[in-house]
Structure 1
Amino acid sequence: MSGFATNEDLSDVLREALGPGYRITGVDRLRGGSKKGVYRLGLDGGAASSVVVYRWTSGENFWPATDEDDPADPFSPASGPSLFLSARRALDRLGVRVPRLLWTDTGNGAGDGGHGDGGSRDAGGPGGAIGVAVVEDVPGDTLEAALTTDPRRAAPALADLARSLDLMWRERGPHHDRVELLERGGTSLGESCERLVLDRALRDLAEAAGRDARIAAARDRLADHLRRLVARVAPRAEYSLVHGELGPDHVLIDADGRAVLIDIEGLMYFDAEWEHVFLRLRFPEHYDVLRRPGLDPARLDLYELAMRLSLVAGPLRLLDGDFPDREAMLGIAEHNLGRALALLP
């Protein structure tokens, strides 16, 4: 994979973001990111001992491009500085904790606050157009790690995450839209969340069936069951703010014990049931803290099967490229394949 940041690249970013007084003492490219590069920089010469750099460029994105990617599709790949900036503005306005922004450059001269607006940077190079953000480094573990190694530290963060989810639940919109698209005055595709989910699930099913004989053998039964499930869903005309991929690995814990949301580019107005299906998958032993009343059981049933199929097709698609943690992706696909088949009547 070409296009990873060099020390020279990061030194240039640091100079633009924080001025000439800082020196990089160490660089760590953090694991887990598949759509952007995430780098922790150790620093000397100023008040901050470290910062985190987000870097959006094709050379840092492991996902293969497709002809179906459409910014008006809420399920199109959520990657890019404009999505990040719109999401952090929305969450910050609600009082949901996100990493503090220090500096950003969208790659076309457009910036967002922090300690300074991003200026114009060179958008060329082997990785294509480059967008960059420098944010605070939230020290300590993810919530995922703390739930295992330090439950006493994890408990208040989990409660704060529930508070954040409640703030997002109460933030309503009249249409299902990515926050960034809404800021630009656009409107998302699709007549409803449930139809969007069905269409995506059928595409995921077709893709997974082409890659695994077990899914192929059950393809017609799975498609029929998806259509039965969507027929049970009653219409809805109001939507909540959802993260879209809120696992415990996408929550940091700050020094005050607060939950800090990261990987927020997919923030959108959508059915809260979509978020809660993912929360049930990723917080199996702790979901009771995050549970809320009033969710629609019919939507939960549809979205669980759709999400299982997505978590088969997506990891297998990612492995078409050179994503490094291949065993983990294969494990995710295999686990969710079994769960999807188990949902058949």
Structure 2
Amino acid sequence: MERRFAVREQLTGVVRAALGAEHRLVDVLRLRGGSKKGVYRLVLDDGSTAIAYIWDAAENYWPGLQVEDHADAFSAASGLELFEAAHRRLDAAGIRTPRIYLADRGRELYPADVAVVEDVPGGTLEALIQRDPAAAQPVLARLAETLEVMRGHAGPGFGKVALVDGGGVATGRSCEQVVFERALVDLEEGAVRDARLAAARDRLEGVLRELAAGVRPRSAHVLVHGELGPDHVLVDSAGRPVLIDIEGLMYFDVEWEHAFLRLRFHEDYARLSWDGLDERRMSFYTLAMRLSLVAGPLRLIEGDFPGREAMRGIAEHNLQQALTFIGG
């Protein structure tokens, strides 16, 4: 498809509605990295900035139809409805996210759902860790406190916050069941796209089944971000962590959050770990995540996503890590 991104003239009315007529939009910078929504920095005539999120088909690089089934805990986590529900839930819990100036689905200001939010000035935690590891330590400590707060907020069932907070019930019997079924799909999709995974498919499926069988039932489900890497944490001027890309916020097993944290924070994960984790569940979820991080990137680069080499690198790394579960 031909991709047409937002330009300044299209966002002038959005800025006026979000920030008032006294602010004039002088430049629009499309930020790289997103695969499901457009992210733009809005530069105003007084030198201040804001961020625009745009949920539009032209901004979504995932090939094929993505069904918006909120009852499926792992359906595409994208859209203004999910964003607003997640923001409300985190804000009520006292967890820092960019302030919302405007959320509009009327399609009169812009021909797609759009939100304008605070532009947090400090950059990502990932960049801070790379630039100044010592300066990142207090932020990591505060992030650990944020995770503790999230663990204290349980839902009546598992699933997307937008669904559960609205009284809905997610599809599936349990977190471990939906993770297992998703992992089988990821294994199948990955095997179609990589011969090495295809050769190991039966053995990996056996390990998945063994790990899933060793997980004891659980009824407690807490707030999890789901993809809380250091690139999804901004640092504000007071040194506080600010969570972004929150549309996937769920009530789920805490181990799902920590499996991802361990994958993404590497040696810094020690600052974020928690003694109450079930290591059997962690092992199962870690393999499931590895398979997802093979199948997802390989599927994404079948389209026209611009960061192809980075996605190939993610798929390759996680393939090698998945193979260690069978002694590969």
The TM-score with structure 1 as length reference comes to 0.91
Superposed structure 1 runs of 4+ greater than 6 Å apart: none
Partner of 1:62: 61
Mapped to 2, the partners of 1:209 and 1:69 lie a distance apart of 25
Percent of residue pairs identical: 58
Label 1:69 to 1:228 Cα distance change in 2 as closer, same or farther (>3 A): farther
What's the CA shift string for 1:131-178, capped at 9, x where partnerless? 111111101220001001122331221111111100001111231121
Partner of 1:291: 273
What's the CA shift string for 1:158-209, capped at 9, x where partnerless? 1111111000011112311210012332111110111101100000000011
Contact 1:3 1:58 in 2 (8 A): no
Runs of 5+ consecutive residues of structure 2 not aligned to the other structure:
none
Contact 1:52 1:135 in 2 (8 A): yes
SS of 1:285's equivalent in the other structure is: helix
What's the CA shift string for 1:232-260, capped at 9, x where partnerless? 00000111100000000000000000000
Structure-to-structure mapping, 1:1-345, within 5 angstroms = 1-45=2-46, 49-66=48-65, 70-105=69-104, 107=105, 109=106, 121=108, 124=111, 130-344=112-326
Quick one: which amino acid aligns to residue 65 of structure 1? G
Runs of 5+ consecutive residues of structure 1 not aligned to the other structure:
110-119, 125-129
Mapped to 1, the partners of 2:13 and 2:138 lie a distance apart of 38
Mapped to 1, the partners of 2:142 and 2:3 lie a distance apart of 39
Label 1:77 to 1:67 Cα distance change in 2 as closer, same or farther (>3 A): closer
Label 1:313 to 1:249 Cα distance change in 2 as closer, same or farther (>3 A): same
Contact 2:29 2:41 in 1 (8 A): yes
SS of 2:141's equivalent in the other structure is: helix
What's the CA shift string for 1:10-56, capped at 9, x where partnerless? 112112212222222322111111110010111114xx711011111
Quick one: which amino acid aligns to residue 150 of structure 1? D
Contact 1:70 1:76 in 2 (8 A): yes
Mapped to 1, the partners of 2:304 and 2:5 lie a distance apart of 13
Quick one: which amino acid aligns to residue 275 of structure 1? E
Label 1:67 to 1:92 Cα distance change in 2 as closer, same or farther (>3 A): closer
- The aligned length equals 326
Contact 2:38 2:55 in 1 (8 A): yes
Quick one: which amino acid aligns to residue 108 of structure 2? R
